[in-house]
Amino acid sequence: MAPIPTYLNPAAVLVLVSCDLCLVRANRPPSPVNVTVTQLKANSAMVSWDVPEGDVIIGYAISQQRQDGQMQRFIREVNTTNRACVLWDLAEDADYIIQVQSIGLHGESQASKRVHFRTLKQSDRLPSNSSNQGDITMEGLDKERQLQTGEIIIIVVVLLMWAAVIALFCKQYDIIKDNDSNNNKEKTKPSSEHSTPERPTGGLLRSKKKSPSINIIEV
């Protein structure tokens, strides 16, 4: 703001200052809207917001404060079009209040409405007030179901392969067993066909003996 000449009366000075303030406020960008906190964890969170269209925004500023007043942090980033920021190094199971400002070519906007959130405990997995809790839960269940289905399919395929191998082994074993029995039968047949019958040694030999002849001579 240009220096005010000393010869001007106080009323004129007040008018000039008011005009400068009006110009500065007119050039300020509008405050961010729809400030939300998602992806809540024990030590981090994601804050996002929207900016009304038609204004040139070159950055943002975030005021982060614990509700108990123990810690306060101010985050400022320029030359960016991001509409979200990750808050790190948060205390576990603690209440926080944040406000977001837009940074334009002629200054910063007024702070947005105060948004309150609470970090989780280390034992908690998902935030109870998270907007995408159902999506994350369903996505996790779908992945588990896919894994279970895949494991069941693999187990069934392995069992079928083992059953086929066992059936083939049993079939081959029966074929080998039948071949062995046929070979044993063929080996025993020639010995029975070419064997000489036993000759009786009893009455037949005796019947063939000639009886002694007696010659009677008459005188």
Q: pLDDT per residue over 26-65, tens digit each?
A: 678 999 999 999 999 999 999 999 998 877 899 999 999 9
Q: Which residue has the tokens 């406020």?
A: 25
**What does 145-174 look like in DSSP terms, one character per residue?**
HHHHHHHHHHHHHHHHHHHHHHHHHHHHHH
Confidence of residue 199 (pLDDT cuts 50, 70, 90): low
Tokens of 107: 């200054």
- CA distance to 134, 137, 173, per residue, from 140 (Å): 10, 5, 50
Which has more confidence, 28 or 184? 28
What's the CA dihedral at 167, 171, 177, 179 to 10 degrees? -160
- CA distance to 46, 65, 94, 133, 215, per residue, from 69 (Å): 21, 7, 11, 30, 163
**pTM of the model as a whole:** 0.48
- CA distance to 118, 199, 206, 208, per residue, from 202 (Å): 122, 9, 7, 11
Q: pLDDT per residue over 66-119, tens digit each?
A: 998 888 999 999 999 899 999 999 999 999 999 999 999 889 999 999 999 999
| Alpha carbons within 13 A on the beta-carbon side of 123 | 0
Distance in angstroms (rounded) separating the CA atoms of residues 77 and 189: 104
